[in-house]
Amino acid sequence: MIPLDIIHTVSSNLGFDACGVCEAKAFRSERDQLLHWLHKGMHADMGYMERNLEKRIDPTLLVPGAKSVISVLLSYYPGNPTIATQPPKISRYALCTDYHTVIKQMLWQMLELLRKECGPVNGRAFVDSAPVLERAWAQNAGLGWIGKNGLLIHPKLGTYTFIGELIVDIEIEPSNSTVTNRCGTCTRCMDACPTGAIVKPGVVDARRCISYLTIEKKTPLAEQERQSLNGWCFGCDICQEVCPWNGKLETTKCQGLQPKAEILGLNAQSILNLSNEDFHNIFGETPISRAGYEHFMLNCKSITNR
């Protein structure tokens, strides 16, 4: 069995902010929760959430022979730039180069380093782009607890973190450090959500979520939905902004996740004057490109015209 210290050292040397390990096994309780959420239609039109259900639950179906799941966290907290606090607002996670690219490259580097340290290792890297229950794995690896807003809360890094996994076919000493849920009686995230999307602790109804409405929804927004955007044109950080665990965070040290100067320099007027070419030049390598020019501009105009 590979000592956990080796994994922590490799992770730290690569620049990850936290790392934990747990055994690769099926999560049956999470399966029931996911099925209930899907049955209630809370995934809206995100049909991909219904596919590959068993793979989401069991990592051995994703990586044959999988024995361990290495979970890593990387802070992306950029502070409080104007573009994230004054309409039309952009969620903090989208101000930088697409995190999928940054973290996946770091995870492949981790796999190569593990091969040098431990011998033959087969595995796959995952960053929010495959059927993986990333928050459940991170929680089981001792990296935090699931808050009432449904996000992983790390006691030092808060919620402004990206999660990645490296599922490998070697046995690694598990973290064995469960972090107690420390939300207590606090309901700030639930109280602050303007659309009531957090229907109960840990459960978010995507149909009401501003992030879903501004990013994922494929059909045109109804007038009531447009009125509910609360100044956000891409994503939403409200439930994170009010979380006490985000009160005293340091900004990210990862160079690959620094906010792009071109985005920080935008204001309402310059955004409204963006051409299609401008949009792709500024946002092309960021998560904002997912929304597309027309969807993004329609959101912005709906907000600034009110």
Domain ranges of the chain: 1-301
> Which of 27-41, 84-98, 146-160 is predicted least confidently?
27-41
Percent of the chain clearing pLDDT 70 (strictly above): 99
| Residue 128 bears catalytic tag | yes
Q: What is the pLDDT of residue 131?
A: 77
Q: What is the pLDDT of residue 306?
A: 54
Q: What is the pLDDT of residue 50?
A: 85
Q: Is the pLDDT of residue 177 over 80?
A: no
Q: What is the pLDDT of residue 218?
A: 86
Residue 79 structure tokens: 């502070």
Taken in order 271, 253, 236, 290, the sign of the CA dihedral is positive
> Residue 107: which of 163, 56, 169 has the closest Cα?
163
In terms of phi and psi (left: phi > 0; alpha: psi -120 to 50; beta: otherwise), the region of 158 is left
Segment 205-212 shows an average pLDDT of 97
> Which of 45-54, 57-66, 82-91 is predicted least confidently?
45-54
Say which of 32, 58, 98, 128 is annotated catalytic.
128
- 20 forms bridges with which residues in the sheet? 71
Count other Cβ atoms within 10 Å, centred on residue 35. Answer: 13
Structure pTM? Answer: 0.95
